[in-house]
Structure 1
Amino acid sequence: MLGRAANGVYWMARYLERAENTARLIDVGFHLALTRGNRASQEEEWKSVLTTTGQGAGYLVNHGEYTGVQVFNYLLREKDNPGSVLQMIEHARTNARVVRTSITNEVWEATNETWMLLRDLLSRPVRETNLGEVLAAIRRQAMLVRGAMEGSMLRNDVFNFARIGTFIERADSTARILDVKYYVLLPSVAWVGSNLDNVQWDTLLRSVAGNRAYSWLNAGNMDPRGIARFLILDRRFPRSLVFCYEKIRSNMAGLAMQYGGETQAHQLLRDAGAALHQITIEEVFEKGLHEFLREFIGKNTQIGGAIAADYRFIE
């Protein structure tokens, strides 16, 4: 596969995953803001959403206050924001068009349909009254494209690059959400064990679609350390760091077989995966959760860069 095509399918998948993750973050920010007792606390929650997405500095260029309507419209549709959901969906469609001869008709049609639907939904400012509808559509359409990939594509290098892009992006998102949200919620010592405390932790899990799975596995016990273990080390949960890296390893192995050998990215991934499998949650907290997650995010970015270099991606 040419580097340009590999780059296209890889980033098509990453942009779709990032758009869905942004929608999930907005949803959790909105619900957590509702639990905050005053305006300052609500603004702090919306600020944390921007921080998690890495868009805090860009937001402050044109906005001074962290009001909900301003923040979620900035993240969803603002023209001056290159990281908005609307921009990401357009980038995903552009990349899909570049590789249209390499993907199936089902994948192209699902991607194009997603772009048309969200372009219309986001053509006007989003209000609190229709925010839920918009966020649900983003999540639904991203899953539609992934379903088309799973159900119609050959398990070849095109599929492998798409899956690698999805799980590199997903691992980054889970790590950032846990890093930022954990410290937003942790200081609420007076609320530990209260209904409000449980609602907030449940909402955090909702941001990664893990609230029901975690509750089922842990009998509804909202334990911060247990949540961290679930999101980092539970191999059964499809958004945990360990799960993402097991899928990346599998698809990277597929590339090695097809191209006749491993690359530097394979070794970086092997080292990072081994570290994840060997560490315990007690060791994570002994090291410092924030420090562990920042190190993970850095290594994840390094692996993504190595993949682009090894397979000659063209930006």
Structure 2
Amino acid sequence: MGERRRTLRFAPSPNGRLHLGHAYSALRNLDLAKQSDGDLLLRMEDIDTARCTPQHEAGIIEDLGWLGINWQGTVRRQSEHFDDYAEALERLRALDLVYPAFLTRAQIRQAVAEAEQGGSAWPRDPDGAPLYPGNERTFPDDRIAELIASDRPFAWRLDIEKACARAGADIVWTEEGRGPAGQTGTIAADPAAWGDVILARKDTPTSYHLSVVVDDALQGITDIVRGHDLFHATSVHRLLQILLDLPEPRYRHHALLVDRDGRKLSKSDGDTAIAALRESGASAHEVIRMCETGARI
């Protein structure tokens, strides 16, 4: 049997207009799809239903069309597939790999501050955020049931120690691009560095980590092309793929476009929005050329 047809995806969040960094990533996906005679799919990562709007989605589609970026099939919207993520979460719950976590951000900050004031360095994830204390892992079942019944908000977190033990020691991914430090080839994943990540919340049956691996599997994604900012998160994604028995895609991470001060572009920087550049008189060819040169904006 031959290799599966290569299938890629561009997956923006419709909480604002596209900027040059988004366009660069979309173009990288499109180029690989064309080179491999594969397909490019479009996904809207809109689990944040408060900030993601149909108006922003329409703007993204307008920007992509203006740039000449086409995709195959219909747009997948995460907000329409919460049942898929809830099913995956339930599988992990059945394996006793998740637990309800009730500490607020303020309580986490307090725990970190008290530990550091006492001279202990609190562990932090690759993005610099403090790891969750995980107090609830040792709570008896009746205490957990009492907390849930109290109607307090909570998040479902992955018990990273149990999850890594179940997945086994050899968690790797194939990197066809280069990581932030030039990493390529077979990469040893380190999901434990992220601690007990959030997989869902009481009122939202998913998080980015859970939804992205479920979507990639359901959409048959074979190759994931995305920025360096998500390189280390791949460790969590590979762990979840193993736990949920999902296919392993190939990964190709790329450098990020940055502004004149070397900072990652953001949606709050209106000057680099595709719509703003179009309105200022730039042509699609000129915008694509800006992306290709990787010049500081």
Q: Output the TM-score relative to the length of structure 1.
A: 0.25
TM-score by length of 2: 0.26
- Per residue, is there more helix in 1 or in 2? 1
